[in-house]
């Protein structure tokens, strides 16, 4: 029979050789990642201490000691002199223990009328809010980079695609402006998320509020929140703001991934539409002629990481009864990693858009392939010859079949050949069959005509300037 001690040692072997205490410490501790919240934790504690003194719950003298101690800890952490301990579990207890070392018994008064439940909620909300504001600025920078290139290429013709098949000619500027719209929506989602999370959890305590005469409106204002939350149970059990952050990040990352995919395609020798600088590409270890769009590929790949974090946290939250459960400790690593990943993706893409070299000749050549002006022919038959669109569609199909048989573009067919297909066709048809004239004709609001692209660029420039002005006033 196996010796009982040997069996025990084997059970708790490896990293956890010291037994269940080591396992519990390892699974329970969050200081390895929530130390990122140190600035927000200290900021929240300073606001809480000031409120406690203002309401007479603690003395002014104790509040001054607490404030001095907390600012000392902040300086220690920022100078890299603070020793974090897993034994103290999290950032809150690490700060509180050091505060007691610095100022003695007065430190014990700081936690009056609050719990780690509302403390972590306020810390995390502050961190997420600050990160959303950083993303908002980064998105503004990306949009500006697009506007510069879109204005530059407002008249550069390229093929427009559906199903990745040549559909109709468009301008490169118009194509780039599609991403401006996408990232513009991302920016509004970021701002909506800030608006929804802009309520202070501080004062909800463990889950039921507190009997102390606290002033939650004071702490909310001090911390830059619009107002305090209105239900203490929901306050400590809510992680909607973290889920929404991940959702916003996942949608934005998806847009970045679509753009990255197009950059990968455009930079191939088969397309040759763009060339990336050496700053955002690498060479092959074995094939000297290759230039790989690694930055774009990694942007594309990292989207899966952010999507995974969203699904992970949704799964954590889906079965939790009210109010707080320790499961919610799993929220931070997902958000922290998603934020870091998205920041990097936005920076990389802004750089790529800013310095990519555009091959306008290759784009123009490709724009005329695949009978891309066929729709222009059909539209002309409706507009000039009065044909019903279905009949015009049929006539155009016959013209395309003839051009395919002759191995030429529609604009190269003889007028007599086109008139043999339908007698209503005149020589004026050739005015719409070139790709340049095709894009110029698409003058509908939001269309690809160069003049319309420039109009949308002007709109977005004004919008960015207006947003910047509102931010300053705010």
Phi, psi torsion values for 112, nearest 5 degrees: -60, 130
Quickly count: other Cβ atoms within 10 Å of residue 325's Cβ.
13
Q: How far apart are CA 113 and CA 217, in angstroms?
A: 15
Q: Which DSSP symbol is given to 325?
A: -
Strand partners, 165: 162
171 and 187 Cβ atoms separated by less than 8 Å? no
The DSSP code for 207 is: T
d(CA 48, CA 57): 11
CA distance 314 to 472: 35
What distance lies between CA 255 and its chain's CA centroid? Answer: 8
Of residues 163, 211, 269, 444, which has the active-site annotation?
A: 163
The length of the chain, given as a count of residues: 474
φ/ψ of residue 168, rounded to 5: -140, 150
For residue 309, indicate whether it is catalytic. no
Tokens found for residue 292: 């790989």
What letter would DSSP give residue 108?
A: G
**Helical H runs in 55-171?**
60-78, 91-103, 116-152
Beta strand pairing call for 199-200 and 227-228 = parallel
SS3 363: helix
- Considering Cα of 380, then 381, then 387, then 388, what sign does the dihedral take? negative
Residue 438 annotated to the active site: no
Contact status, residue 169 vs residue 373, Cβ threshold 8 Å: yes
* Whole-angstrom distance, CA of residue 449 vs CA of residue 443: 5
Query: How many other CB atoms sit within 10 Å of the CB of residue 32?
Result: 11
DSSP 400-416: HHHHHHHTS-GGGS-HH
Set 59, 85, 284, 325: catalytic member:
284
Q: Which residues are catalytic?
A: 163, 284
């Amino acid at each position: 029979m196996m010796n009982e001690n040997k069996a025990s040692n084997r059970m708790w072997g490896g990293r956890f050789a010291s037994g269940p205490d080591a396992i519990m410490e390892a699974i329970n501790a969050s200081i390895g990642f929530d130390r990122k919240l140190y600035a927000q934790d200290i900021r929240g504690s300073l606001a809480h201490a000031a409120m406690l003194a203002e309401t007479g719950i603690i003395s002014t003298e104790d509040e001054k000691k607490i404030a001095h101690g907390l600012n000392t800890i902040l300086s220690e952490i920022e100078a890299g002199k603070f020793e974090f301990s897993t034994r103290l579990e999290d950032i809150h207890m690490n700060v509180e223990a050091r505060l007691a070392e610095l100022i003695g018994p007065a430190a014990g008064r700081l936690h009056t009328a609050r719990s780690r439940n509302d403390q972590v909620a306020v810390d995390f909300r502050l961190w997420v809010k600050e990160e959303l504001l950083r993303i908002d600025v980064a998105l503004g920078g990306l949009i500006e980079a697009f506007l510069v290139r879109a204005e530059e290429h407002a008249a550069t013709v390229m093929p427009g695609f559906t199903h990745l098949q040549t559909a109709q000619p468009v301008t490169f500027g118009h194509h780039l402006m599609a991403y401006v719209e996408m990232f513009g929506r991302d920016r509004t989602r970021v701002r909506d998320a800030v608006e929804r999370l802009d309520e202070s959890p501080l004062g909800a305590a463990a889950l039921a509020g507190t009997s102390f005469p606290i002033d939650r409106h004071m702490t909310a204002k001090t911390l830059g929140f619009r107002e305090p939350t209105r239900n203490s149970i929901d306050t400590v059990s809510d992680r909607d703001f973290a889920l929404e952050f991940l959702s916003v990040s996942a949608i934005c990352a998806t847009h970045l991934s679509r753009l990255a995919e197009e950059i990968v395609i455009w930079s191939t020798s088969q397309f040759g539409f763009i060339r990336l600088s050496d700053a955002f590409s690498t060479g092959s270890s074995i094939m000297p002629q290759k230039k790989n769009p690694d930055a774009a590929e990694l942007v594309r790949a990292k989207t899966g990481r952010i999507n995974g974090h969203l699904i992970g946290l949704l799964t954590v939250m889906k079965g939790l009864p009210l109010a707080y459960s320790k499961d919610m400790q799993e929220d931070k690593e997902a958000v922290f990693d998603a934020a870091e990943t998205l920041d990097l993706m936005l920076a990389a893409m802004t750089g790529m858009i800013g310095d990519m070299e555009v091959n306008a000749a290759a784009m123009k050549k490709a724009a005329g392939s695949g009978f891309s002006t066929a729709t222009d022919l059909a539209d002309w038959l409706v507009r000039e010859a009065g044909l019903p669109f279905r009949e015009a569609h049929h006539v155009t199909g016959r013209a395309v079949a003839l051009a395919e048989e002759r191995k030429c573009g529609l604009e190269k067919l003889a007028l007599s050949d086109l008139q043999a297909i339908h007698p209503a066709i005149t020589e004026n048809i050739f005015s719409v069959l070139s790709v340049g004239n095709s894009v110029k004709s698409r003058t509908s609001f939001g269309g690809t005509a160069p003049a319309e692209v420039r109009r949308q660029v002007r709109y977005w420039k004004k919008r960015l300037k207006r947003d910047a002005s509102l931010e300053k006033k705010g």
